[in-house]
Chain A
Amino acid sequence: MGKRKKKKRKLRSAQGSSSIPKETLGTDAESEPRPPAKTKSERKGATKARAPKEPKLESPFDQYFFGSVAPTRPYLLLRLSLLLLAFDCWVDLIPHAGRYGVGGFNVAHFAVLEILPTPTPGLYIGTMVLCGWLALVMAVRPARAGLALLFGLYTYGWSMSMLDSYQHHYLLSLVLFSFIFFPVPAATAVFGPTGGGARAPDADLGRWRVVGGLLLLLFVADATLAACGVRAPLDRIFGEGGLVIGARATAILLGLLLILMVDEGPKSEGKKSSAWGYVSVCVTCTIVYGYTAVTKLSKDWREGHALRRLGNSDAFQELQAQAIGDEGLPLFGTLPVDDFWKLMATGAILVQLVSAFGYLLAARQDELRGWKRYLIAASGLAPLSFHLGAEKMELEIGWFSYYMLLVVFVVFLPIEVLRPVGAAFTWPARFLRDRLGDRERSPWIFLALGLLASVPAAMVLDLPGTGGAAGVLAAVLVLGVVLAERKERLGDARGWGQGALVAGVCMWVSITMLNDVRYDYYRFVGGDHRRRGELAEALDAYEKANAYQLYPWCLSKGRERGECFGSEGAAAARAAELGEGWSAARSDRKEKEDEVRAQLERQRATESNE
C-alpha cells in the first residue's frame, strides 16, 4: 500500500514536470486532487522556471510528428517487424536466388547499380543471410548505425535486380529508413522490470494483465494465421473444427477480460515519448493506401474485371457462388455475377481509403481520449479485412500481408490492450535481465558466443555465398563490439553479442531444420539448368535438392497442391481428415534426378563413342 502511494506521488510529480500536455495524461492524473491555486506571482515564477523544458510545438506539422506516442507502439513495431524480416529473408527470399546472374544477364532497378558486379546466386544469398542476421541482432539490441546498415543492405538486396519487383520490398525499405529514427529503449525501460514474477515497485502492469496479454498474443496470432488460410498451430494440434474456433474465441475473450477488468492500477500507459520515426511509418502507410486507392479508380478495376481475374481462389469462388445463388450476401441479397465483382471492387477502393485516413489519424491516437480513440482503433478493421482478404485470394505477394497485419495490430489496438501484449512478449527478456541483473560481464564473452553461433551456422548451410556472408557478419560484429566497448556502451556490446547468438541459432534452425529452403533453392536451380540443357549442373542440383528435402509427402487434389509433411503417415492422416478428393503422395525431384542422370549417361556414352 505504502509502495502504491509512493508511486502515485512519483507519477504526479513526473506529470507536473512532463512536457506532455495534461489532457493527454492517464485517468489517474485526473482523479488526483488539484493543488491549491497559486498566486499570480507564483504562477509566473513557475512558468518562468519551467519554460525552457516546455517544448513549443506551434506548427501543426511539429505537433503531428513530434507529439507524444505511447512508447509501447514504436518498441513493438520495430522489434516485431525486424523479427519477421529476418525469417522472411531466410525462408521466403533465399529459395529464389538461383535465377540471379543466369547467362550473365541482369537489369538493376537503378542504373547506378550497373557499375557493380552482375548479381549471382552467391551474392544474393549472402546479402539475404546478412540481412536476416542483422535484422535479428537489431531486434534484440537496436542501434541507429546497425539499422542504417540494414536499410542499405536490404535496399541493395531488392534493387540489385529487376527480378525482384515486389513493391512491398520498396515499402519495407521506406519503413527501414524510418526505423533508423525510432526510439530504441530497452524492454525494461518501456514495460518495467518483472520483479521476478511479483509486481515490481515501478512496474505499472500487474501479473494478471500480463497473463491476459499472453493469451491475446498467442490466440490472436493463431486466429490470424487461420484466417489467412494457413494451418495454425491450434489446428495442427487439435484438428480444424468448431471446437478450436470456440477455444480461440474463449481464450481471446478471457485475455481481454483479464486486461480490462482486473484492477491492477492505471490501464493506460503513463509514459509518452516523442517518436517521429514511428509517425512517419504511419504516414508512409497513408501514402501507400492512398495511391493504391487512386489507382483502382480506373474503369477496369471499378467494373470488377481486374479483381475477377485475381480472385480465382477457392474462398472467392465460394463467395461468388453464395452471392449469385439463392442464399445471397448479407445486406445485398442475391446479385448478378457482374454486380458481385463490381461490389467487391468498389469495396476494395473504399477499404483502402478508410485505411489511408485511419493510419493518418492513428499516429496521434495516444493523445486522444474517449470515443475518438476507439473510433480510430475501429478504423483498423479496414486494413485488417483487406489483408486477410488478400491472403484468402492466395496472391503471390510473399509475406506482405503478414507485415501489414502486424502494423495494423501495433498501430490501431488501443494502448490498454497493446501494452499487456507487449509486456507478455518481452517478459522472458525482462525476467532474464532481472534475474541476471546488470552484472558487468565482459562484452568479449558475448562476442565470442555470438561468433561461435553465427559463423558456423552460416558456413554449414551449403548454399552459395554463405561463406562470404559468415566472414562479413563476423567482421561487422567484431567491429560493432569493439567500437561500442571503446565508447563505453557496454550494454550495446553485450546486446549485439547476445543478438548474434540468437540470430545464429534461429538462422540455422529455420533454414536447415524447419523449412525446405535448400530443397526449394536447389530444385529451382536444377529445373533451370535442365531447361537450358546443362545436365551435369542439373544433376548436381537435383541430388542436393533431394538430400535436403524435409517434407517430401505432399497433399494434392487434382491440380491443387496442399501442405507437405515429413512422413507418409502424417500426410495420409491429413488427407483423410480433409476428405473430398485429397490424397497424399511423395513429391520430390527423385524422378527428375534419375531422368537427368540417364540423359547425362547417354550423352557421355555418345561423346565417348564419337
Chain B
Amino acid sequence: MSDDEANDREPAGDNEPAELPVPMGRRRKLFRRVLFGFLAFQLIVPLTYYVRADPYDERFAWRMFSAVRLHQCRPAASEVVDGQERPVDMPKVIHQAWINTMARNREDVIRAFLAKRCEQDGVDESTLTNVCVTPTGTRLAPQVYRRDCANGVEELPEQLILEDE
C-alpha cells in the first residue's frame, strides 16, 4: 500500500494521535468540497436578507442589534365575529413570548396567528396591527396584517422605509 493510499483513509482508531497529517487524495478532495459548501452556505444565507421582501426577518443575517431590531412595536389584534369587530385579549389566547415575537413584525408568526384565530368558531376576519417607533423616535405608519377566514386571502402591509436617512 502506498503512503498516499495510507493517508487517504481516516486516521487512527481508538486513540487518535495529536499530530494529524495533511489529508491527501480523495479525502482532501472530499474535505475541500465540504468546506466550499459550508463556506458558501455561510456567506450566501446572510445575503438573502438583502433580497428578501420582509426586512423584519433578520434571522441568519448576523444583524444583531440592528436599527430594525430596535424598533419598538405595539401589536393589537382584533377579529370580526358575526359582522362585529372585537379586540382579542392576546395574553389570554397565546403565550406572551409569541406576542413579543409579533411585536417585532415577524411576518411568519403573525400570519400563523391570524390563521389560528380563523380556526375559532364564527370568526370571519382576523387582523393584527403593529404600531412601531424607530430608535430615533420616528413613528412609522401602522403595519396592518389581515386574513379573510372564508377564503384564506391575506392582506400584508406595504414595505416600509425602515431607517431614518
- Closest Cβ–Cβ distance, residue B27 to chain A (whole Å): 10
**Contact A276 to B15, CB < 8 A, known contacts A55-B22, A162-B108, A300-B135:** no
Q: Give B38-67 as 1s and 0s: 1 = Cβ < 8 Å from A's Cβ atoms.
A: 110011001000000000000111111111
State which of B17, B22, B31 has its C-beta within 8 Å of the C-beta of A185.
Answer: B17
* Segment of B73-81, B96-104, B123-131 in the binding face: B96-104
CB–CB B101/A274 < 8 A: no
Closest to A191 in B: B18
State which of B2, B16, B46 has its C-beta within 8 Å of the C-beta of A189.
Answer: B16
A167 to B91, CA, bound (A): 26
- Closest Cβ–Cβ distance, residue B97 to chain A (whole Å): 4
CB–CB B135/A62 < 8 A: no
A183 to B38, CA, bound (A): 18
A309 close to chain B: CB less than 8 A: yes
- Closest Cβ–Cβ distance, residue B162 to chain A (whole Å): 9
**Contact A288 to B163, CB < 8 A, known contacts A19-B21, A189-B16, A490-B14:** no
A492 close to chain B: CB less than 8 A: yes
CB–CB B95/A185 < 8 A: no
B83 close to chain A: CB less than 8 A: no
State which of B18, B93, B113 has its C-beta within 8 Å of the C-beta of A273.
Answer: B18
Complex interface: chain B residues within 8 A of A71 (CB)? 18-19
CB–CB A287/B43 < 8 A: yes
Interface residues in B22-41 (C-beta closer than 8 Å to A): 22-24, 28, 31-32, 34-35, 38-39
Number of interface residues of A (CB under 8 A): 71
Q: Give A64-81 as 1s and 0s: 1 = Cβ < 8 Å from B's Cβ atoms.
A: 011100010001000000
A334 close to chain B: CB less than 8 A: no
State which of B15, B31, B59, B67 has its C-beta within 8 Å of the C-beta of A165.
Answer: B59
Complex interface: chain B residues within 8 A of A272 (CB)? 19
Number of interface residues of B (CB under 8 A): 57
Interface SS, B side: loop
Closest to A66 in B: B22
A489 to B70, CA, bound (A): 52
* Segment of A224-232, A525-533, A546-554, A590-598 in the binding face: A525-533
State which of A61, A167, A296 has its C-beta within 8 Å of the C-beta of B59.
Answer: A167
A3 close to chain B: CB less than 8 A: no
B134 close to chain A: CB less than 8 A: yes
* Segment of A101-109, A246-254, A360-368, A456-464 in the binding face: A101-109
B160 close to chain A: CB less than 8 A: no
CB–CB A185/B101 < 8 A: no
Count, A-B residue pairs, CB within 8 A = 172
**Contact A300 to B113, CB < 8 A, known contacts A55-B22, A490-B14:** no
State which of B18, B19, B39, B67 has its C-beta within 8 Å of the C-beta of A301.
Answer: B67
Q: Give A278-320 as 1s and 0s: 1 = Cβ < 8 Å from B's Cβ atoms.
A: 0010011001100110011011110101111110000000000
Q: Give B83-127 as 1s and 0s: 1 = Cβ < 8 Å from A's Cβ atoms.
A: 000000001111111100100001011001100100000000000
A586 close to chain B: CB less than 8 A: no
**Contact A185 to B18, CB < 8 A, known contacts A62-B32, A99-B97:** yes
State which of A165, A274, A295, A299 has its C-beta within 8 Å of the C-beta of B20.
Answer: A274
Interface residues in A463-499 (C-beta closer than 8 Å to B): 487-492
CB–CB A189/B91 < 8 A: no
CB–CB B21/A185 < 8 A: no
CB–CB A66/B62 < 8 A: no
A307 to B4, CA, bound (A): 55
**Contact A52 to B3, CB < 8 A, known contacts A292-B64, A296-B66:** yes
- Closest Cβ–Cβ distance, residue A350 to chain B (whole Å): 16
CB–CB B16/A174 < 8 A: no
CB–CB B61/A291 < 8 A: yes
Complex interface: chain A residues within 8 A of B63 (CB)? 291-292, 295
A170 close to chain B: CB less than 8 A: yes
A181 close to chain B: CB less than 8 A: yes
Complex interface: chain A residues within 8 A of B165 (CB)? 299
CB–CB A309/B135 < 8 A: yes
A276 to B28, CA, bound (A): 10
CB–CB B60/A170 < 8 A: yes
Complex interface: chain B residues within 8 A of A236 (CB)? none
A491 to B15, CA, bound (A): 7
A190 close to chain B: CB less than 8 A: yes
Q: Give A371-406 as 1s and 0s: 1 = Cβ < 8 Å from B's Cβ atoms.
A: 000000000000000000000000100000000000
Complex interface: chain B residues within 8 A of A185 (CB)? 12, 15-18
A301 to B112, CA, bound (A): 32
CB–CB A177/B67 < 8 A: no
Closest to B38 in A: A280
16 new A-B contacts at CB < 8 Å, known A52-B3, A185-B12, A309-B70: A19-B21, A62-B28, A162-B108, A163-B101, A167-B62, A170-B59, A183-B16, A276-B31, A298-B67, A300-B164, A305-B135, A489-B14, A492-B14, A531-B92, A532-B92, A533-B92
| 29 A-B contact pairs sorted by A residue (CB < 8 Å) | A53-B21, A65-B32, A66-B22, A103-B93, A103-B94, A103-B95, A103-B116, A162-B108, A167-B60, A167-B62, A167-B64, A170-B60, A174-B42, A178-B38, A183-B18, A185-B15, A185-B17, A185-B18, A186-B15, A274-B21, A280-B38, A288-B62, A298-B163, A299-B164, A306-B70, A488-B13, A488-B14, A491-B15, A532-B92
- Which 5 A/B pairs are nearest by Cβ-Cβ distance? A300-B67, A55-B22, A291-B62, A52-B3, A102-B95
